Amino acid sequence: GGTGVRVSLRSRCPVGVHLLAARHGGGGRARAAGMTLPGTLPEVEALVLAEAGEALRAFVKAHGGGPLPPQDA
């Protein structure tokens, strides 16, 4: 195997995790995606949480604020 941290992403809200994975050479679907990132676990965790937070804030801002509604099948 290679080096890096394998990241699995899941989403139950309208923000698709496949976009985050694609930015880092990964892939998947809107609700389940993955990627492998170089670095240590704490470094990768900080990066992924920061980028996911940015995506969530952008979505909320674009849709008038308020909580994100859960998306059931």
Q: How many CB atoms lie within 10 A of CB 38?
A: 11
Label residue 15 by pLDDT band (50, 70, 90): confident
How confident is the model at residue 40, as a pLDDT?
A: 95
Is the per-residue pLDDT at 22 higher than 90? yes
How confident is the model at residue 41, as a pLDDT?
A: 96
- Could you tell me how far CA 17 lies from the centroid of its own chain? 4
